[in-house]
């Protein structure tokens, strides 16, 4: 059984193969091979002023993606070389759209 908070009611969409495919605000599903953990993450930034091959994210509550996940710490970084080697990311697709 994988750790992390899980994917909640989200399912895997297209695989993110490069940092250039994401932008701030995107919601992703992230599997960490190092920690055997599944989490829902929000992209909060792309690039660092030196390279565009990095994105920054934060873990969010899979039941309410507008809220950071409790106890998840701060931001983390994913580099292009991480994708497919230390982690795998997919676009998050809602199983059931939220009521408006």
Q: For residue range 31-64, list pLDDT tens digits in order.
A: 999 899 999 999 999 999 899 999 999 999 999 9
DSSP 19-79: GGG--TT-EEEEEETTTTEEEEEEEEEE--SS-SSEEEEEEEETTEEEEEPTT--S-EEEE
Question: Rounded mean pLDDT of 61-84?
Answer: 88
CATH of region 10-59+66-94, choose from 2.60.40, 1.10.1200, 2.40.128, 2.30.30: 2.30.30
Domain boundaries, the chain: 10-59+66-94
Question: Rounded mean pLDDT of 77-81?
Answer: 96
Task: Using alpha carbons, select from 78, 91, 79 the residue that is nearest to residue 29.
Answer: 91
Report the predicted TM-score, pTM, of the whole model to 2 decimal places: 0.89
């Amino acid at each position: 059984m994988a750790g992390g908070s899980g994917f909640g009611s989200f399912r895997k969409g297209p695989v993110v193969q490069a940092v250039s495919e994401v932008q701030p605000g995107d919601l992703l599903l992230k599997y960490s091979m190092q920690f055997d953990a599944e989490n829902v993450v929000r992209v909060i930034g792309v690039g660092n002023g030196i390279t565009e091959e990095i994105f920054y994210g934060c873990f969010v509550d899979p039941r309410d993606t507008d809220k950071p996940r409790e106890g998840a710490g701060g931001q983390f970084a994913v580099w292009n070389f991480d994708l497919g080697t230390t982690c795998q990311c997919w676009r998050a697709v809602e199983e059931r759209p939220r009521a408006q």
